[in-house]
């Protein structure tokens, strides 16, 4: 029995670490995007921001976009108020007095029945009321660089793409939960960049996306995945990849990075990760599903092994050796990723966070499949 358990754990660890080294190789092959300063901006963007109870963030987010170094006649910003019961809508209306390119859509005027994914409905509604040919999405608590839209335009002019994924990072406020989230998110962003670059599977983050409106329409938008609470980014990306093969790009540039705050406490963090995990079995891209399954089963083995080792103390040595080996392989991958995002100093915390990460992966994965979570004041099953 012990031999079979250790053999399984060793096999899973070696398979996982081999995959991490593959991601590392792909990430190292990423070419930093060289913007062409002689290009005149020509792409017209409709920037869409779904917002629910974001009175503390929405003005800073909107201003960071509206003050972009990009011709005002070439973009609009559409904020969709998702049934907010705070001052979100009032703040947007006040901003409209200053910025003529800012539009407000109140979702309550378009939705008559209860939905499972209000965010997808917000994006669909905004696209239906948008004026321009390229859609850019971000979140209401994000901030963007002044070169954000110019870089998207430059990338579009150089590359024949219909969907562009771009990097996102968390602010670090130096709390334990903040450092943990930054490290966890760094690994996700590194895998996203590596896998999109290699064309291996479809990963992205809705806080920093751009896609052609006609591509969205041609795949019938979120139809078929609109019953899933999460997945307005990766599930859509896969649909578009299926319809437009080899038309997906990753914009690898530091000034395209969108910054967003981490969850303020453990409860909101777990709820966010459960929301992300809840779409795992809905991926049509089965490569993602199998990768997630490998990650979950490995972490589950590493989670239960110390408890089983109570009955056979030798197992503690195997568990510790596997943990060290896994950590070292992940650090090899994390170094270039953290360097790109200017968060190298956080890597000192990486070995410390490893046991906590195993526990969180097991819990969030389990609850993502069988539990429910709260998000923006709503309970989702």
* Distance (Å, whole) CA 265 – CA 172: 13
Q: Report the interhelical angle of 314-340 vs 2-28 (nearest 10°).
A: 10
Q: E-strand spans in the chain?
A: 45-51, 75-81, 102-106, 134-137, 163-165, 168-170, 209-212, 248-250, 258-260, 373-375, 378-380
Tokens of 123: 């994006």
Q: Which of 180, 190, 174, 169 is nearest to 358 (CA)?
A: 180
Q: Which of 140, 149, 177 is nearest to 53 (CA)?
A: 140
Alpha-carbon torsion 173, 178, 183, 185, what sign? negative
Count Cβ atoms within 10 A of the Cβ of residue 97 and give its class: 0-12 exposed, 13-18 middle, 19 or more buried. Answer: exposed
Contact 212, 137 (CB under 8 A): no
| Residues whose CB falls within 8 Å of the CB of residue 56, separated by 6 or more in sequence, listed in order | none
* Average pLDDT per block of 10 residues along the chain, 381 residues long: 80 97 96 92 98 96 97 97 94 96 94 80 96 97 97 97 97 93 96 93 92 97 80 89 93 97 88 74 75 93 90 87 96 98 96 93 79 61 58
CATH 3.40.47.10 matches 31-264: no
* Distance (Å, whole) CA 96 – CA 107: 18
Contact 50, 88 (CB under 8 A): no
Cβ atoms within 10 Å of 314's Cβ, excluding its own? 10
pLDDT score recorded for residue 190: 97
pLDDT score recorded for residue 106: 95
Please provide residue 114's backbone torsions phi and psi, each rounded to the nearest 5 degrees. Answer: -70, 140
The domain segmentation of the chain, as residue ranges, is 2-27+285-375, 31-264
pLDDT score recorded for residue 283: 65
* Distance (Å, whole) CA 123 – CA 137: 8
**What's the whole-model pTM score?**
0.93
pLDDT score recorded for residue 230: 72
């Amino acid at each position: 029995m012990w031999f079979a358990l250790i053999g399984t754990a060793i096999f899973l660890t070696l398979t996982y670490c081999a995959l991490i080294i593959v991601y590392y190789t792909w990430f190292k092959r990423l070419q930093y995007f060289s913007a062409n300063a002689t290009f005149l901006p020509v792409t017209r963007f409709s920037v869409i921001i779904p917002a629910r109870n974001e009175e503390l963030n929405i003005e800073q987010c909107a201003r960071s976009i509206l003050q972009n170094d990009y011709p005002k006649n070439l973009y609009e910003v559409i904020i969709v108020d998702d049934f907010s019961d705070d001052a979100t809508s009032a703040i947007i209306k006040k901003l409209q007095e200053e910025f003529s390119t800012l539009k407000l859509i109140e979702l309550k005027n378009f939705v008559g029945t209860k939905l499972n994914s209000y965010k997808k409905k917000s994006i669909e509604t905004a696209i239906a009321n948008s004026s321009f040919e390229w859609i850019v999405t971000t979140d209401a608590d994000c901030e963007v660089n002044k070169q954000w839209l110019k870089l998207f335009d430059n990338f579009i002019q150089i590359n024949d793409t219909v969907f562009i994924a771009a990097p996102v990072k968390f602010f670090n406020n130096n709390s334990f939960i903040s450092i943990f989230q930054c490290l966890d998110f760094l690994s996700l962003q590194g895998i996203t960049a590596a896998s999109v670059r290699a064309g291996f599977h479809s990963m992205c983050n809705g806080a920093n996306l751009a896609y052609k409106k006609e591509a969205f329409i041609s795949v019938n938008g979120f139809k078929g995945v609109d019953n899933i609470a999460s997945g307005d980014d990766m599930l859509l990306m896969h649909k578009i990849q299926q319809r437009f093969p080899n038309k997906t790009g990753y914009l690898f540039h530091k000034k395209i990075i969108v910054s967003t705050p981490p969850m303020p406490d453990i409860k909101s963090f777990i709820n966010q990760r459960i929301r992300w995990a809840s779409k795992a079995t809905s991926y049509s891209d089965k490569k993602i599903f199998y990768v997630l399954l490998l990650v979950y089963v490995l972490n589950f083995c590493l989670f239960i092994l110390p408890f089983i080792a109570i009955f056979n103390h030798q197992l503690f040595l195997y568990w510790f050796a596997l943990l060290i080996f896994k950590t070292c392989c992940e650090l090899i991958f994390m170094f270039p990723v953290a360097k790109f995002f200017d968060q190298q100093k956080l890597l000192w915390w990486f070995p410390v966070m490893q046991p906590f990460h195993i526990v969180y992966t097991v819990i969030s994965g389990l609850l993502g499949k069988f539990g429910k979570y709260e998000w923006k004041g709503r309970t989702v099953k």
